Amino acid sequence: MQSFKWLYPGLKVKRFILLAALGLFFLVSGVTIALGLTLLTSAEQTLLWLADYILRLGISPLASGIFLAGWGLLLLVLGIDRLVRSVLHVLWPREKSPWEVFYRRRLLEGGPRIVAIGGGTGLGVLLRGLKNYTRNLTAIVTVADDGGSSGRLRAELEIPPPGDIRNCLVALADTEALMEELFSYRFRRGEGLAGHSLGNLLLAAMIDIAGDFDKAISELGRVLAVGGRVVPSTLTPVVLGAEKEDGTIVWGESRIPCPGQRIKRVFLHPPDCRPHEKALEAIAQAEAIIIGPGSLYTSVLPNLLVPGIAEALRKANAPVFYISNVMTQPGETEGYTVADHVRAIQAHCGPGLIDCVIAHSGPVSWAARRRYGEKGAQPVKVDAAAVARMGVALRKAWLVDETLVVRHHPDRLAQVIMEELYKRRAWRPRSKFCFFFQKRMERSRLPISTRHKVSL
């Protein structure tokens, strides 16, 4: 009975359905007349007379049939087109073309299965680029955050910190920019609200409504039309600890970065926390695994320290890439080179975990160097020889984006990753045309002045 509701008055669909039906009738009748067949004698004779009357040439039944079939095809296409437009105008009142969205989603469903591991803003940057190549994305996110809005919600409501989860959901969202801006909005005033992100509060509310952290993430992802999924590395409430080089132990992710005190190692408490089953499943099925970018000791390593994660990465058939940061981070990686980043991961997780490092190669503007230098940060030096001695491949490319802060450009970074996958035969698109189309489509999004710096 639900189907008859399409015939209600005022829906502006009946007229187009009738137009398409009339076109189909003309098309079938014209074909039967042209082929000399007989289906409905009286109807065909009437149409044949009508065609002959319109043309006034006394032409043959073959020509009349072709004439009727042509008009029928035109009416059929016109009716279907107007019907689809009428429905989509109501269901998709957006600026973005529904055909573009449909085509991109269909194309991206055949993209590679990629797992991205990290946290903070760095992982969000990576996901923003990769979502233009595939919808088979899984972000494995740290839950050791205890600062800012996430830390307050974690302490007051006894829930996992929502901040990094929210960042990844927004990065993967296929919605209007206003919705993304709304979820990222941070209150500046109000007792108890100041400093909180609206997205964090919504995720906390969803956890309370759903009664389950996984279900809350899934429901919020549905609201944002997320092209992928976000999975915490563990559901166990964990606290990140760090041992400094002077032997001091510091507890809490937000307290670990301290300029002038180098970190010797980081660890989780409790040490026997269990990895999320969905994270292990995603790693096992992945065609590419990407670690970083992000804060080495407080965003990247907390995921790898969860028991079972590093072992799953070693057993995976997919290549493991590490995205080196563009700039060093005061209190964490002061003076670090690319090799130092890799060496720190090997010291915590053992050798043989990373197959390839992707690093920015090129200058950083003088203004940015001075601005970051005042805070004790500098560009990460690419020491290719040291990386090679560790048995790790190195891919250098122009990856920097200095629009607001110095970070990776999401589109350029995603292009390099996809090129590496294609070269390593870790993934093959459905056709070379699809891969070429995606690359050209994303290249058109880059600033004209930087397109030549990414090889296509």
Q: Which residue has the tokens 């072992």?
A: 311
- How do residues 294-321 score in pLDDT, each as one tens digit? 999 999 999 999 999 999 999 999 999 9
- Residue 452: Cβ within 10 Å count: 10
pLDDT at 98: 66
- Calculate the CA dihedral of residues 337, 342, 348, 351 and round it to 10 degrees: -140
Element spanning 81, H or E: helix 61-91
pTM over 0.75: yes
pLDDT at res. 448: 40
State the virtual CA torsion across 28, 30, 33, 38 in degrees, nearest 10: 20
First vs last C-alpha separation in the chain: 54
CB 395 within 8 A of CB 358: yes
The dihedral built from the CA positions of residue 267, 378, 161 and 165, taken in this order, carries a sign that is negative
- pLDDT for 410: 93
| Alpha carbons within 13 A on the beta-carbon side of 10 | 0
pLDDT confidence of residue 455? 38
Q: In the beta sheet, which residues pair with residue 288?
A: 114
Structure tokens at 291: 């670690």
Give all domains of the chain, ordered by start, each with its CATH number.
2-93 (no CATH), 105-141+233-453 (3.40.50.10680), 143-227 (no CATH)
Residue 406, SS3 per DSSP: coil
Token reading at 160: 């996992």
* 242 CB-contact burial (10 Å; exposed 0-12 / middle 13-18 / buried 19+): buried
Tokens at residue 391, please?
């048995």
Q: What is the pLDDT along the chain (456 residues), one digit of tens a residue?
A: 566 666 667 667 788 888 888 888 778 777 777 777 665 565 656 666 666 656 555 567 677 778 778 888 998 999 898 888 877 776 665 556 666 667 666 778 888 999 999 988 899 999 999 998 999 999 999 999 888 888 888 888 888 888 899 899 989 987 657 777 888 888 888 777 888 888 889 999 998 888 888 899 988 888 888 889 999 999 999 999 999 998 999 999 989 988 778 899 999 999 999 999 999 999 999 999 999 899 999 999 999 999 999 999 999 999 999 999 999 999 899 999 999 999 999 999 999 999 999 999 988 888 888 898 888 899 999 999 999 999 999 999 999 988 778 899 999 999 999 999 888 776 666 545 455 555 555 555 544 444 434 433
